[in-house]
Amino acid sequence: MKCRVCRGPAIIDLPRHNANFCSEHFIQLCLRQTTKAIDDFSMMKKGDRILVAVSGGKDSLAVWDLLSELGFLAEGLYVGLGIGEYSEASQQYAETFARDRGLTLHVVPLRTEYQFDIPTASKATGRVPCSACGTSKRHVFDQFALDNGFDVLVTGHNLDDEVAVLFGNTLRWDIGYLSRQLPVLEARQGFPKKVKPLVRLTEREMAAWCVVRGIDYIVDECPLAAGNRHLAYKDVMNQVEERSPGTKASFYLNFIENMAPLLVDRHESDVSAIGSCSRCGAPTGAEGSDLCAFCRLRDRASQHEPVSVDLLIKKKSRS
Amino acid sequence: MKCRVCRGPAIIDLPRHNANFCSEHFIQLCLRQTTKAIDDFSMMKKGDRILVAVSGGKDSLAVWDLLSELGFLAEGLYVGLGIGEYSEASQQYAETFARDRGLTLHVVPLRTEYQFDIPTASKATGRVPCSACGTSKRHVFDQFALDNGFDVLVTGHNLDDEVAVLFGNTLRWDIGYLSRQLPVLEARQGFPKKVKPLVRLTEREMAAWCVVRGIDYIVDECPLAAGNRHLAYKDVMNQVEERSPGTKASFYLNFIENMAPLLVDRHESDVSAIGSCSRCGAPTGAEGSDLCAFCRLRDRASQHEPVSVDLLIKKKSRS
């Protein structure tokens, strides 16, 4: 197996590019794909104040590393979700990465700052953990970016993530969700600009990036996410990809090019229907409450006695 | 396992309806779902002259049987594709079905009427057999329906067929194809009205219908279709369905309800861009030829010496 560029020994085969790469030229490929995503979708420019949403997993550490390599100045924010040992280990990976590279990492623990954690929120509201977690992370990242004057919030969503979400939204033909599934969401009332520089790179490529670059990250999936629908969709799309390499990339990129423009009106009308939370000022949907989804979640979860992650997992495996 | 309606012994479980049915109430369910499709989408009315595209497989014989049970007067058309023993056996099933029920079956053999068959067309043009077959069947069915004054052409596409095609078109976000994927295509210049009354019923349900109603049909897949992409898509969507019963139906029906209306403009502009074949008068796309796709296929295939289906399969399995 030889590198397509230099004919030296390759370390990775990429069927959708119909090519193999050595570590040096694999690194160049990843930098090029990231640059292309940033440029094609006008994600950010040098000198912007950039905040990366950091989980301690491969994608968020890889995107932070890639941006640093490309000369962008980015700080990180880790949100402590309180998911037992999994959260403790994740935080250590994030802190070690930042310290070794002289990067600034902010940490916001939900329990200390907001008096709840994800296992407790899930139990208190009866919602699946991933749903409570998504609401919490979105709120804390958005708020932190706005309060601290960042120009853009970066997340590590890779091609596989976007493809799985797009597949789920397509299965339901949920036009509202489809209209918002873009690599860039512009800043607007109560929301920072949000961008996804890894949309042209896969999960497997980001794992390889971390290996090649010597980045230690938390390898385990979140114990509360195991068996969720998102993972099942990834599995299905990987089967399609194996049969026809390049399908995942064309599914996502053709959506952005062919379909998203037809949904712009829906996106605009969605955006204009938003109000403000009477407590924290964050945007609210039209759910008939003057509190945002996060404040409502927090109200219920912070009044509940703390629930351990083990208890939640045991209950899940019994049902 | 008990019938949801009468509590008698059930013969089939239908997870998406979260119910089991005895043969009598299964038959009623199928008749009801067919009626609902016909009514919801204004497919046809009693007294219309109806032509069913008959292959000898379970779906086309089931839809013909269902329409007859519901009091519609329908004749059948079988197109002889020249796919060796597979075609011979298919034709016998179609003829036996029609004869036993006193129904009228027309037969158009491609070789006799148009001087080619599918294996030869595939070899002569280098196209995959399913593509040459689709072009040929569409042309012959459309032409026969128009020439003989039928009001509507019925095909036996079931929910699984529509879901697999929709999934394929969605993977590419092919807006033109998506805009045409409707349960009813109205008659227009050179095309008869075309309808799919089985869109609310699955492949498995149509197999069960044939068993319950004592309909013999060709069980084998076409030997030239084995391993095609369409079958792979069905496989993937069945995995999703197994995890979440009802997903296939909601994928298709939500597309029709939520997305198809947003694509109407595309469909209209597509329709208006059509010309007429200078030889047969059939509609042509904007492919830079004055002949339609069928006449071009026929020109090349009829000049080629006949190719046996076995030769084509051997060649395929070697590659």
Radius of gyration of chain B (CA): 20
d(CA A212, CA A215): 8
Chain B partners within 8 Å of A173 (Cβ): 251, 254-255, 257-259
Contacts 24+ apart (CB under 8 A), A260-264: A260/A178, A260/A179, A260/A181, A260/A182, A262/B175, A262/B262, A262/B263, A263/A175, A263/A178, A263/A179, A263/B262, A264/A179
Among all chains, which residue has been given the structure tokens 């399913």? B130
Tell if the CB–CB gap between B259 and A175 is shorter than 8 Å.
yes
Q: Is A149 left (phi over 0), alpha (psi -120 to 50) or beta?
A: left
For residues A45-52, give the mean pLDDT.
97
Any CB–CB contact under 8 A between B236 and chain A?
yes
pLDDT in tens, B3-49: 999 999 999 999 999 999 999 999 999 999 999 999 999 999 999 99
d(CA B24, CA A311): 48
| pLDDT for res A270 | 62
Of A177-181, A223-227, B106-110, where does mean pLDDT reach its minimum?
Answer: A223-227
Can you state the angle between helices B159-172 and B229-243, rounded to 10 degrees? Answer: 110
Among all chains, which residue has been given the structure tokens 């403000």? A276
Task: Say what the pTM is.
Answer: 0.90
Split at pLDDT 50, 70, 90, the class of A272 is low
| pLDDT for res B289 | 77
d(CA B1, CA B13): 8
Whole-number percent of chain A with pLDDT over 70: 96
Of A84-93, A260-269, B227-236, B267-276, where does mean pLDDT reach its minimum?
Answer: B267-276
- From A51's Cα to the closest Cα of chain B, the distance in A is 33
Q: Hey, what's the torsion of the CAs at B18, B22, B23, B28, to 10 degrees?
A: -60
Q: Cβ distance A34 to A200 under 8 Å?
A: yes
For chain B, the distance separating the N- and C-terminal CA atoms, rounded to the nearest angstrom, is 47
Cα nearest neighbour of B172 on chain A? A251
Tell if the CB–CB gap between B229 and A251 is shorter than 8 Å.
no
Cα nearest neighbour of A169 on chain B? B251
d(CA A171, CA A178): 11
| pLDDT for res A215 | 98
| pLDDT for res A287 | 62
CB nearest to A170's CB, from B170, B175, B243? B170
CB nearest to A239's CB, from B236, B257, B258? B236
| Nearest of B174, B164, B165, B142 to residue B155 by alpha carbon | B142
Tell if the CB–CB gap between A240 and B232 is shorter than 8 Å.
yes
| pLDDT for res A203 | 96
Split at pLDDT 50, 70, 90, the class of A271 is low
> Which ipTM was obtained for this model?
0.86
| Nearest of A72, A56, A48, A53 to residue A143 by alpha carbon | A53
Residue A283 has pLDDT above 90, yes or no: no
Strands B152-154 and B184-185: unpaired
| pLDDT for res A318 | 67
- From A234's Cα to the closest Cα of chain B, the distance in A is 11
- From A198's Cα to the closest Cα of chain B, the distance in A is 20
d(CA B53, CA B140): 10
For residues A81-109, give the mean pLDDT.
97
d(CA A144, CA B26): 58
pLDDT in tens, A184-208: 999 988 899 999 999 999 999 999 9
Which carries the bigger pLDDT value, residue A36 or residue A288?
Answer: A36
- From B314's Cα to the closest Cα of chain A, the distance in A is 22
Tell if the CB–CB gap between A257 and B174 is shorter than 8 Å.
no
Of A211-225, A270-284, B243-257, where does mean pLDDT reach its minimum?
Answer: A270-284
Amino acid at B17: H
Strands B74-80 and B105-109: parallel
Cα dihedral across residues B63, B97, B193, B164: positive or negative: positive
- From A258's Cα to the closest Cα of chain B, the distance in A is 7
d(CA B54, CA B52): 6
Cα nearest neighbour of A266 on chain B? B262
pLDDT in tens, B122-154: 999 999 899 999 999 999 999 999 999 999 999
Residues of chain B predicted below pLDDT 70: 267-273, 286-288, 316-319
d(CA B86, CA B220): 8
- Best of B16, B171, B250 to substitute, by most chain A Cβ atoms within 10 angstroms, is B171
